[in-house]
Amino acid sequence: MTSRRGASPASGDASRVEQLRSRWDEHGRTDPMWAVLTDSAKSGGRWQAEDFYAHGSAEIERLMKRLDELGLAHQRQSALDFGCGVGRLTNALADYFEHVDGVDISAEMVRQAAQMAPNRDRCTFHTNVASDLSIFPDDLFDLVHCNIVLQHVGPQLTRSYIAEFARIVRPGGVVHFQLPVKPAPGPIGFVLQLAPKALLNRLRGMSMHGVSETRVHALLYSRGLQVVATDPDESAGHRWISRRYTAVKPAKGHSA
C-alpha cells in the first residue's frame, strides 16, 4: 500500500492545528483524563484510571453491539482511534481488534497514553500535528472511530479529517464518528448561535462546533462512503444536538 498525501494545508488550517496542539498539550499537563471526559465531579485530577478506562470499555462495547445490529460484520484486524487522548477508547478497541492505532494532536497526551493504557501492548500511539492523516496509507483500517473530538476542531478541519477517514478505511470497512449538528433549542442554544465564538471559547475553555447532517452526509457520499446509520447522541451535552454517523466503504466492485 502506498501513502497518498493531499494538498499542502492552507495557512488557516496550519494556524488552527497549532492552536489545538498548544491547548491540548496544556490539558495533557494539567488534567488529561478530565479534558478527555469532562465530568464536573472529576475535575482537578479526580478521575481514577481504573474507572476512566472502564468507561471507555463500556462505550466501545455499545459501539460493537450497534455495528452487529447493523449487520456490519467487518474484519477485526486493525482499528484507528482518532483523537485518542490518553488512550481511553484505543485501549478498549484493543479488546476487539488485533491492533489499534491511536492518534492525537498532543504529544503530551500521546506520551501518557503509551504509559497508562492497560492494553498498550496491542496499541501504537502517534502524534499528528497536521490537517491530514498522511502518516497512514490508503485502505489500512477495518474501523476508523472518533468520539467527542471533531466537535472541538472546527468545521474546516472536520471536513479535512472526515475525508481522510474515507481514504484510510479499507474497502468493506466502517467509519464511525460523533459530531454535533447545532446548538439545542432554548435560551442557551440561542446564545451559542449568536455570541462571538472567540468569546465563548474563552469562557468555556474548549471550543465547540457543529456541522449539519446534510453537509456531513454530502461529504461522506462525495468520498465514496455509504451512510448506514445516523443515530441520536448525547455525548456533546444537553446544550447541543448531536449525531453518530456510521458509514461503510464499499468493497471493490461495489458502488456506494
User: What grid cell was written down for 123?
Assistant: 496499541
Is the domain covering 11-36+43-248 a CATH 3.30.590.10 domain? no
Q: How far is CA 82 from the centre of its chain?
A: 5
Q: CA–CA separation, 198 vs 209, rounded Å?
A: 12
Of 207 and 118, the structure prediction assigns the larger pLDDT to 118
CB of 129 within 8 A of CB of 109?
Answer: no
pTM: 0.87
* pLDDT at position 28 over 90: no
The contacts of residue 38 (CB under 8 Å, 6+ apart) are: 206
pLDDT tens string 137-152: 999 999 999 999 999 9
What are the structural domain ranges in the chain? 11-36+43-248
| pLDDT level of residue 186 (50, 70, 90 thresholds) | low
**Which residues in 46-58 are b (16+ Cβ under 10 Å) and which e?**
ebeeeebbebbbe
* pLDDT at position 189 over 80: no
CB of 210 within 8 A of CB of 154?
Answer: no
Rounded to the nearest 10 degrees, what angle do helices 11-30 and 107-116 cross at?
40
% residues pLDDT > 90 (the chain): 64
| pLDDT level of residue 153 (50, 70, 90 thresholds) | very high
- Closest listed residue to residue 178, CA positions, set 256, 97, 232, 239: 232
Q: Where are the beta strands (DSSP E) in 47-152?
A: 78-82, 99-104, 123-127, 141-146
Q: CA–CA separation, 54 vs 145, rounded Å?
A: 18
Q: CA–CA separation, 72 vs 74, rounded Å?
A: 5
Exposure of 88 by Cβ count < 10 A (0-12 exposed, 13-18 middle, 19+ buried)? buried
Of 102-116, 122-136, 202-216, least confident by mean pLDDT is 202-216
Mean of the per-residue pLDDT values of the chain: 87
pLDDT tens string 69-86: 999 967 899 999 999 999
pLDDT tens string 198-241: 434 443 456 889 999 999 999 999 999 999 999 999 998 888 99
* pLDDT at position 194 over 50: no
- Closest listed residue to residue 207, CA positions, set 27, 9, 80, 39: 27
